[in-house]
Amino acid sequence: MGKIIAIANQKGGVGKTTTAMNLAAGLAFVGKKVLLVDFDPQGNATHGIGANKVGFTKSVYDVLMTDTTVKQATVTLQMPPMDVLPSTIDLSGADVAMSQYENGREQLLKNKLSAVKNDYDYIIIDCPPALGLLNTNALTASDSVMIPVQCEYFALEGLTQLLSTIRLVQKLWNPQLSIEGVLLTMFDARTKLSVEVQQEVRKYFKEKVYKCFIPRNVKLSEAPSREQTIFEYDTRSEGSKAYAQLVREVITQNERRK
Ligand SMILES: Nc1ncnc2c1ncn2[C@@H]1O[C@H](COP(=O)(O)OP(=O)(O)OP(=O)(O)O)[C@@H](O)[C@H]1O
Ligand SMILES: [Mg+2]
């Protein structure tokens, strides 16, 4: 049975999409069967991973709002060898549309993904930077949540809100939801601030924080414009090494749990 991991933090620009794309690709490159779900109306993961090049007519919006199945909307990539459920700006209308539903609006994504859960080893969901029904759907559908934390001022600000949303989802819709791990992103070893944020985050989340951290690395920001993951764009970069290490930590942790 596949494991569903939501990459979430309602704060914008902390590295959710960069992590979702590179984690998904890294898992695919070591032979895991992977589905990347772009659950953000911005569609950054869809563009960055090159799903547009392949072309698609249905998106995750159709899956949520109509009887379109995940399989029908899924795009298969050659490189990285994995599947993507793409997103478009249409998804921004789903929040309002879903809020009109009387029942089951938090479970829409979960119900749809359950049909393909056994087809994959990992399903990675890239969440939007907001705490609305889209995020609630992602968290309700997931086994665990990975939280990227940018090594910046106010890094921990807002995490209290995310943690209370996680607790609410656990209480009402998904008691099994756990924290997969906390990932430090855009780390700059030259700055005192990065080191301080790291210490603070480790003090708060303890062993939940990954040993590896993602450095600030320009290659990571260039890769999506070429529609490539870091493993294709520049394998020797620090960004590539860091995400490869994250992939190893995630696999080790999950194989131990099994
Ligand atoms: N480790 C890094 N080093 C350098 N640039 C990075 C790194 N991680 C992400 N970036 C860049 O920072 C910007 C924000 O990253 P990303 O899109 O992954 O964040 P996000 O949390 O998904 O944002 P949003 O909340 O808008 O969805 C992007 O331009 C990305 O290329
Ligand atoms: Mg994003």
What's the gap in Å between 92 CA and the centre of ligand 2?
Answer: 14
Q: Give the pLDDT score at 1.
A: 80
- Residue 22: nearest ligand to its CA? 1
Q: Which atom of ligand 1 is nearest to the CA of 221?
A: 31
Enumerate the domain spans of the chain: 3-257
Chain centroid to CA 123: how far?
A: 9
Give φ, ψ of 146 to 5 degrees. -105, 130
The CATH number assigned to the domain with range 3-257 reads 3.40.50.300
Q: Is 113 helix (H, G, I), strand (E, B) or coil?
A: helix
Q: Give the pLDDT score at 258.
A: 66
What's the gap in Å between 242 CA and the centre of ligand 1?
Answer: 15
| Residue nearest ligand 1's atom 23 by CA | 13
Mutate to test the pocket of ligand 1, among 17, 39, 227 (most ligand atoms within 8 A of CB): 17
Who lines ligand 1 at CB under 6 A?
A: 12-18, 40, 42, 44, 129, 185-186, 214, 216-217, 220-221, 239
Please check whether residue 247 is in contact with residue 30, taking contact to mean a CB–CB distance below 8 angstroms.
Answer: yes
Q: Which atom of ligand 1 is nearest to the CA of 11?
A: 25
Closest CA to 75 of 50, 48, 51, 109: 51
What's the gap in Å between 17 CA and the centre of ligand 2?
Answer: 4
Residue 3 DSSP class: E
| Residue nearest ligand 1's atom 13 by CA | 13
Helix (H) or strand (E) holding 160: helix 159-172
What's the gap in Å between 17 CA and the centre of ligand 1?
Answer: 7
Q: Which atom of ligand 1 is nearest to the CA of 215?
A: 1
What's the gap in Å between 16 CA and the centre of ligand 1?
Answer: 7
What's the gap in Å between 127 CA and the centre of ligand 2?
Answer: 7
**pLDDT per residue as tens, the chain (258 positions):** 899 999 999 999 999 999 999 999 999 999 999 999 999 999 999 999 999 989 999 999 999 999 999 999 999 999 999 999 999 999 999 999 999 998 999 999 999 999 999 999 999 999 999 989 999 999 999 999 999 999 988 888 889 999 999 999 999 999 999 999 999 999 998 899 999 999 999 999 999 999 999 999 999 999 999 999 999 999 999 999 999 999 999 999 998 876
Q: Which atom of ligand 1 is nearest to the CA of 186?
A: 1
Q: Which atom of ligand 1 is nearest to the CA of 126?
A: 22
User: Longest Cα pair distance anywhere in the chain, in angstroms?
Assistant: 52
- Residue 16: nearest ligand to its CA? 1
CB atoms within 10 A of CB 176: 8
Chain centroid to CA 163: how far?
A: 16
What's the gap in Å between 16 CA and the centre of ligand 2?
Answer: 5
**What's the predicted TM-score (pTM) here?**
0.98
